[in-house]
Amino acid sequence: MNTSTFDYRPMWQSLGLDLEAHDALLAAIPVLYQDVYLSQRERPEGMAYFDFVMTEIHGLRVRELVDHKAAGGAVVGTFCLYVPEEIIRALGGQCVGLCAGTEWAYSEVERILPQNTCALIKSFLGFKLGRVCPYAEACDLVIGETTCDGKKKAYELLGELAPVYVMELPQMKRAADRALWRTEIDRLVAKLEEISGQRLTAENLARAIKEVNDKRRALQRLNEARKASPVPISGKDALLAVQVAFYDDVPRFTSMVNKLADELEARVAAGRGVAPADRPRLLVTGTPMAVPNWKVHDLIEKAGAVVVAEELCTGYRYYAKLVDETAPAVPEMLDAIAERYLDINCACFTPNEGRMDDILRLAREYKVDGIVQCHLQFCGPYQIEATKVERAVREAGLPVLRLDTDYSPGDAGQLSTRIEAFLEMLK
Ligand code: BJ8
C-alpha cells in the first residue's frame, strides 16, 4: 500500500494535530496493511476501492469533511451503533465513527483511567489526548450513549476535551424503556437542530432513511454472498468493508459495495472462491473491531480457516436491520428509527436472548463449522455474557473457542496456538 502523495499537512495542522505523533501513527499502517491485506491471493478486484480508502485514511475523507464544515454543514462523531445516523444526515450533517482500534498515548490515558479499562475506550481517549485523529478534531459534536459503564464515565472525561452530548440508552427493552428511548430520540433531534440550524422535515428525513438503508442493503448483499462455498471474499476483506462504512461518504460507499457485491455474485455463480471449499468456516462474535484492529481475523485466516460471518457491531449488528420506509410523517419516522435502533442486541442489555438467537441463526445460515468468541479484555458485558453464548452454542452442537485480547500484537503467538488447536479439533 502506498501512502497518499498529496500534502495534507497544512490541513492536519489547521485541525490542531500533533504532526510528529500523527506521522508516527500513519507510518505504522502501510506495513500492517501489506501484511494483512495485500498479501492475500484471489482478492476480489472491487477491494481496490477499500485499498484506496485506506491509503487516504486521514486524507481525502477528512478533506471532504473539512469542506463540508466550510460550507456550513456539521460533522458529528459517534462511538456506538445506537446513535441514529439518519437524523444526523437529515439535518445536513456528516456522521463519523470515532472508535479507535490501536493503542495510543496509553501512559497519558492511564493517568486518568484505570489500567483495567477496555482497549477501545483507552484508544479513543488516547487519540484525543494525543491529538492524532483528524476525524475527532474535525467534529462539531461527539454523541455518546449510556451503554457500558466504562464508556459512560469516559464520556465525562472526553467532555472536558470536546463538545459531547450523551443519549440515555435504556438497558432493558420493556414498554417503559421503549418510551424513554423514544423521548431520547426527540431530545437528539432538538440538539441536532440547534447545532445545524436546520429543521427536520418529512422530506429530509425520508431521504436520509433511504440513503442509510441503501448502505445497509449493499452490505447485506455483500454478506449474502459469503454464504456460498467456496466463499468468494475473505473475512478480513468483509470486515474492512463494514469498518469503512462508519466514516465513508454514504452514496459513494453504497455504490462501491454494490459493485463489489456484483463481482462476488459472479464469483459465486462461477464457483470461484478465495480459499478452497474444504477450509473450516467460522463465525466470529463479540466486541467491535475498529480500524486497524484486524488481528483475530488475520490469525484465523492465516491458520487456514475462513471467517464467513461476524456477529459484531463491525458486522451483522451494523447492517442487519433497516428503518421502515413507509412512515408518512416525521413523528412516525422517528418511531421507526427508535424501534430499529433499540432492536440491536448489544450485551449492555439484560436480558439479551436476541443475541443468542442471532448467533445460532447466523451459524445455520452460513453453515459454520465453529464459533469464535472474541472479546476485548476488561469488557464486562461481553466477557460475562460469554458464558451464556458458550452454553447456547454447545447446546446447538457447535464447537466454540473463546479469545480475550487487546490491541497489542504481544499475544499473537499465543492466540495463534489456540486457534490452530481449535482448527485441529474441527477436522
Ligand atoms: S452497540 S458493542 S458499539 S456499546 S468493548 S466500550 S461494551 S467495555 S463497544 Fe459497543 Fe455500542 Fe454495544 Fe456495539 Fe464497553 Fe465492552 Fe469496551 Fe465496548
Q: What number does the ligand 1 atom closest to the CA of 117 have?
A: 8
Q: How remote is the CA of residue 172 from the centroid of ligand 1, in Å?
A: 16
Q: How remote is the CA of residue 20 from the centroid of ligand 1, in Å?
A: 30
Q: How remote is the CA of residue 273 from the centroid of ligand 1, in Å?
A: 33
78, 80, 113, 318: residue to mutate for ligand 1 pocket, most atoms within 8 A of CB: 80
Q: How remote is the CA of residue 407 from the centroid of ligand 1, in Å?
A: 15
The pLDDT of residue 317: 98
165, containing H or E segment: strand 164-167
The pLDDT of residue 80: 98
Closest CA to 321 of 354, 288, 290: 354
Q: How remote is the CA of residue 148 from the centroid of ligand 1, in Å?
A: 6
Nearest alpha carbon, ligand 1 atom 13: 313
Closest CA to 308 of 239, 393, 399, 404: 239
Nearest alpha carbon, ligand 1 atom 7: 148
404, containing H or E segment: strand 400-405
Q: Where are the alpha helices (DSSP H) in 131-226?
A: 134-138, 149-158, 175-196, 202-225
Q: How remote is the CA of residue 380 from the centroid of ligand 1, in Å?
A: 10
Nearest alpha carbon, ligand 1 atom 14: 148
Question: Could you tell me if 137 and 17 are in contact, meaning their C-beta atoms sit under 8 angstroms apart?
Answer: yes
Cβ count within 10 A of residue 404:
18
Q: What are 282's strand-pairing partners? A: 307, 370
Which residue type sits at 225?
Answer: A
- Spatial distance between the Cα atoms of 207 and 119, rounded to a whole number of angstroms: 36
Closest CA to 168 of 139, 204, 144, 149: 144
* CA-to-CA dists, residue 134 to 62, 149, 252, 264, 359, angstroms: 7, 26, 21, 33, 35
Q: How remote is the CA of residue 111 from the centroid of ligand 1, in Å?
A: 22
Report the chain's C-alpha Rg in angstroms: 21
Q: What number does the ligand 1 atom closest to the CA of 118 have?
A: 16
> What's the farthest any 2 CA atoms get from each other in the chain?
60
Nearest alpha carbon, ligand 1 atom 8: 379
For residue 232, the 8-state DSSP code is S
Q: Which three cell numbers stand for residue 252?
A: 459513494
Question: Could you tell me if 305 and 251 are in contact, meaning their C-beta atoms sit under 8 angstroms apart?
Answer: no
Q: What number does the ligand 1 atom closest to the CA of 148 have?
A: 14
Cis peptide before 292 (omega within 30 of 0): yes
Q: Name the 3-class secondary structure at 75.
A: strand
Ligand 1 environment, Cβ below 6 A: 80-82, 118, 120-121, 147-148, 150-151, 287-288, 313, 344, 346, 348, 376, 379, 381-382
* CA-to-CA dists, residue 143 to 78, 221, 242, 320, 382, angstroms: 5, 29, 20, 22, 22
pLDDT (tens, 9 = 90+) of the chain, 427 residues, equals 546 678 999 999 999 999 999 999 999 999 999 999 999 999 999 999 999 999 999 999 999 999 999 999 999 999 999 999 999 999 999 999 998 899 999 999 999 999 999 999 999 999 999 999 999 999 999 999 999 999 999 999 999 999 999 999 999 999 999 999 999 999 999 999 999 999 999 999 999 999 999 999 999 999 999 999 999 999 999 999 999 999 999 999 999 999 999 999 999 999 999 999 999 999 999 999 999 999 999 999 999 999 999 999 999 999 999 999 999 999 999 999 999 999 999 999 999 999 999 999 999 999 999 999 999 999 999 999 999 999 999 999 999 999 999 999 999 999 999 999 999 999 8
Q: How remote is the CA of residue 249 from the centroid of ligand 1, in Å?
A: 24
Q: What are 143's strand-pairing partners? A: 78, 165
Cis peptide before 44 (omega within 30 of 0): no
The pLDDT of residue 332: 98
Q: How remote is the CA of residue 243 from the centroid of ligand 1, in Å?
A: 15
